[in-house]
Amino acid sequence: MFYHVKELQFEAKPDRPDPLLAKKIQELIGGQYGEMTVSMQYLFQGWATRGNEKYRDLLLDIGTEEIGHVEMLATLVARLLDDAPVNMQEDAAKDPVIGAVMGGMNPQHAIVAGLGARPSDSVGNPWMGSYIIASGNLLADFRANLNAESQGRLQASRIFEMTDDRGVKDLLSVVIARDAYHQNQWAAAIAELEEKEGLLVPSTFQREKERTDIAYTLYNFSEGEESSQGRWANGPALDGQGEYKYVSKPEPEGAKPMLRPAPPKLHNTPPSDWK
């Protein structure tokens, strides 16, 4: 059961209307790494968690918090669109750089949403459920969550630097701080699971079933050998089960593929020796 409290957890009041900034904020709502994504990702991960109640509860705690972040940012967008005269976007577009990059406000804010936020990113792409990662393997999922919070905090920080609106900065400072905690939180949960399961996902796959002779090899498949200087190319593997090695000139094991012609009824291009 979800219970909605009408008051916002943190205030979402910009100092003045700004439809162009509202367009940017949409990325933090409906972008690939926006609050809609992390909210649904954590909730679906939590709903599918079996037999690990503390992780299930953690996921549902954070997923529900992220719903509140969507509401706060949606409220911010609506207020940025309040009383925003059309000439504001026209004046902004007179600057050739702003005009080229932004192209004015998001027309869907007015045409589709009636001066409200949309479940979409900053260029109008609709939010997609395919952004969500929920595999049933908590270590794999928590690593995806750490990435999502890293990208989300990066994007919020960039928008923070794009405005001098104190009210917007106040809310973004909240989002950035919470994304910082969530990075710490997922890193802690990952470390806890790695201590129990090891580095590799899935930990339950039997190693003897894989090609362990190539499981720790870096192949040089691009010009230059700078990558050979990394921790990943020499010394004990981080999973404690092998030694990293670097192969400068990889030799192929497989033969050149020679495919049989397709059946005539498929009407493919005939082989070069066809008569």
Please give the annotated binding residues for Mn(2+), written as ranges: 35, 66, 69, 149, 182
* Residue that the structure tokens 């400068």 belong to: 248
Instruction: Burial-class residue 21 by CB neighbours within 10 Å (0-12, 13-18, 19+).
Output: buried
Torsion of the alpha carbons at 165, 62, 126 and 95, rounded to the nearest 10: 20
d(CA 179, CA 28): 12
Q: In DSSP terms, which residues pair with 126 in a beta bridge? A: 120
Answer whether 189's CB lies under 8 Å from 52's CB. Answer: no
Sign of CA pseudo-dihedral 98, 99, 103, 106 = positive
Annotated binding site for Ca(2+): 57, 61, 220, 222, 224
Residues of each annotated binding site: 35, 57, 61, 66, 69, 149, 182, 220, 222, 224
79/21 Cα distance (integer angstroms): 11
| 217-219 sheet: strands from edge to edge | 217-219, 243-247, 235-236
